[in-house]
Chain A
């Protein structure tokens, strides 16, 4: 078990390291950071100055070492746009705002949104999937099928706009965007919940169908256990492995999905910060945002892997045999 966790941990770290290298290659080798930050209208002199300030004139391997070294020390660079209205090219390194605290400050809002969306879709999906599996080919089964199909085909940001149109503009039930009260949370969370709802419900349904066909269910029924108990206690527990997998998968999807939803609802999370920084051409901020989101996604995947082995110890054993 411990060996399994350690191996997974090493995988996660290697993956993050690969991502760092990838961002370096795309940002430094394929693109020119000075050009990215100043735009194509900048003069050659300004570009040259930024290059010198950022150490871009050094050989590429040295830049890479500095880049990785800075990240390891938690130094993600400084933003020259955040909090500044003019561009002080010569102050780039000296007096810019460090980006990491700005990014981390946005995390709670994103967590709140993703958590609300996941909680909502998870509970509803379990109920929907179980009901569908209890009554295959009934109207409820068809309904769950239709919802699942619709939810994977749904354009998330569009769904959010439709909700705004119907519930905010026409009915005036919720604010169109912003942050603060629970009313502000409802619409973005609903928007974000739609996709995982369908996907999880689908998995719950098929996992439960498999479980309900097994002999222990017949045995439980035969000894007079109530149907609700058979479904929600006996079968659901055994169907939990695929459900945990898909939920973990959806949670990492949620973090990226939140980018669009946050933009639409002016929800001050990490996604909105990223999109804003992209349009402000604030490269250090964009990089920090990507690292934080990617690190979260990798961490979630790691935790999901650990969660499996807790639910089903056979998995750790299997993977030991393979390796």
Chain B
């Protein structure tokens, strides 16, 4: 009798260099009883070598091939993604404090410079002088009463947009930055799936 097993690949896993990846690492296998699924999950599917660099994409056909070799009478049902991205994590790059301080100041000075350029570009000084005259009827060459709250508001607006102060209190929706990070990661993954996956390409071997 043919037995049905269900295979669901994980989207993305992390592995150590020179590790042997088992089917159980990249997929969840459910059989009619636990023993079949458990045995299949123990099958090694890929041995990571130094040549693999940092990313390997394992395709579902590879998993099916392995399971068929284990027992060809199984009926395999695939659910979920059809490939897994294996990210090879080398010993964690130490994140030094000096590096962080450097980048911090880079962004700090850069952000300050861009806002100054922006103010010059749109003649913000004149606009502020105009607003000052509009409200009070007097001319003021340096309307600091308007400009200091303006500068504070500038930071407030950015924080508000990225929703970091009110994150816990106001809602649980992700901030635009988190969504953007997610989208960027999705694009990268999509690229990897198409370009690193040996199963999805067929080239002429005539060189």
Bound together: no
